[in-house]
């Protein structure tokens, strides 16, 4: 029994060490890609930043492609966990729209290098067969979720009924997605002020006015 317990204990320790090493490699990859761009962020450079070897990275991730996919998936999961509770806490359309815009940008500010790295991946990373390593369905799902928010509050009368929710959702996302490139050029960008201005802008664009035709019919 003692030998079995000892083996189990060692296995737990090894799992903990492996988890920590993977996190270390991912952090190094984020900083390297964000700092040098995807093309210059070779496994050798990432290994140097992590203080390890290419072989160790390959052992844990199989190669650069799988490492990149992990970086994208992790940021997506972190974003959902960050944004979800902030939206759920808002009972009104105006509050939810403001929370969506400002929380997206505060997430960018708090995860600057990870966001910049994923932007580099989305623009440049390709597998051996030429397919993108970034899963663009992630972005499409975000636009679809925003569209549903807009449609819902058009239905309640809190938003204007006469704008196209597809166009509005894409416009909001485009405004948000422009921020990382600006942040890369200007690290001192006041993202808080930027978020408030954008929220004010899209609140004005969605607010009902005099003569508004009233709640929209449910979209089909």
For 89, phi then psi, to 5°, come to: -75, -10
Quote the pLDDT of residue 217.
47
Check whether 43 has a pLDDT greater than 80. yes
Quote the pLDDT of residue 7.
39
Residues 4, 44, single domain; the answer is: yes
Query: Looking at residues 21-46, what average pLDDT do you find?
Result: 96
pLDDT tens column, 107-138: 999 999 999 999 999 999 998 899 999 988 88
Residues 106, 201, single domain; the answer is: yes
Q: Which of these three, 62, 92, 108, is where a domain ends? A: 62
**Average pLDDT value over all residues in the chain:** 89
- Quickly state the pLDDT bin for 219 (edges 50, 70, 90): very low
Quote the pLDDT of residue 4.
39
Query: Looking at residues 204-214, what average pLDDT do you find?
Result: 75
Which residue in this structure is represented by tokens 């000892």? Answer: 6
CATH number of 42's domain: 1.10.10.60
pLDDT tens column, 73-120: 999 999 999 999 999 999 999 999 999 999 999 999 999 999 999 999
pTM, full prediction? 0.84
Quote the pLDDT of residue 8.
38
pLDDT tens column, 152-166: 999 999 999 999 999
Residues 106, 53, single domain; the answer is: no
For 126, phi then psi, to 5°, come to: -135, 145
Q: Which of these three, 62, 86, 104, is where a domain ends? A: 62
Residues 58, 70, single domain; the answer is: no
Residues 91, 184, single domain; the answer is: yes
Neighbours of 220 (CB within 10 A): 3
- Quickly state the pLDDT bin for 42 (edges 50, 70, 90): very high
Residues 69, 164, single domain; the answer is: yes
pLDDT tens column, 183-196: 999 989 999 999 99
Provide the domain limits for residue 98. Answer: 65-220
CATH number of 90's domain: 1.10.357.10
CA distances from 125 to 38, 48, 119, 129 (A): 7, 21, 10, 11
CA distances from 211 to 134, 204, 208 (A): 44, 15, 8
What's the number of domains the chain is made of?
2
Token representation of residue 46: 């990432």
Check whether 5 has a pLDDT greater than 70. no
The secondary structure element, H or E, covering residue 140 is: helix 137-155
Residues 52, 89, single domain; the answer is: no
């Amino acid at each position: 029994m003692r030998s079995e317990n000892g083996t189990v204990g060692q296995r737990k320790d090894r799992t903990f060490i492996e988890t920590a090493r993977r996190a270390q490699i991912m952090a190094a990859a984020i900083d390297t890609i964000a700092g040098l761009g995807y093309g210059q962020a070779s496994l050798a450079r990432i290994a140097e930043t992590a203080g390890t070897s290419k072989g160790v990275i390959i052992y844990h991730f199989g190669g650069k492609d799988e490492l990149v996919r992990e970086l994208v998936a992790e940021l997506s999961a972190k974003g959902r966990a960050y944004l979800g509770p902030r939206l759920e806490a808002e009972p009104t359309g105006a509050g939810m729209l403001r929370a969506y815009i400002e929380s997206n940008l505060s997430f960018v500010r708090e995860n600057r290098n990870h966001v910049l790295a994923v932007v580099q991946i989305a623009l440049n990373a390709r597998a051996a067969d030429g397919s993108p390593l970034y899963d663009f369905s992630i972005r499409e799902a975000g636009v679809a979720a925003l569209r549903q928010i807009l449609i819902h509050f058009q239905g309640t009368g809190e938003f204007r009924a006469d704008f196209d929710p597809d166009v509005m959702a894409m416009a909001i996302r485009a405004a948000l997605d422009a921020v990382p490139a600006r942040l890369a050029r200007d690290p001192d960008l006041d993202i808080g002020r930027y978020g408030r201005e954008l929220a004010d802008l899209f609140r004005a664009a969605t607010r009902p006015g005099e003569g508004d035709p009233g709640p929209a019919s449910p979209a089909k």
